[in-house]
Amino acid sequence: MIFSPKGAAVDVVELMAWLAERGCSVVFKADGERSPGHRWMVIVSGGPLGTESFFRSDEASADACLEATLAHLESVGITPFA
């Protein structure tokens, strides 16, 4: 669990469920075959992002993926903290 910039606690499973309820597809992956620093990946597509738009981030940790996802969602006006 990490905290959003506004101090709210965020669990990755809860965020994935929240996005799925809004029509998004979400992939959250750990890949031990990838090099350190890029073993975690998140992809979010569909729903309020649009049918032709998606977000992908490759990070060093699950928390970093979650932070990147929250930052992207906020940049396009989508937030689970409303």
pTM: 0.84
Tell me how far apart the alpha carbons of residues 69 and 8 are, in angstroms, rounded to a whole number.
15
In degrees and rounded to multiples of 5, residue 72 shows phi and psi of: -65, -45
Q: What does the DSSP 8-state code read for residue 7?
A: S
Beta-carbon-side half-sphere exposure of residue 76 (alpha carbons within 13 Å): 15
Contact 3, 23 (CB under 8 A): no
**pLDDT tens profile 13-64:** 889 999 999 999 999 999 999 988 889 999 999 999 987 889 999 999 988 8
Select from 80, 75, 79 the least CA-distant residue to 57.
75
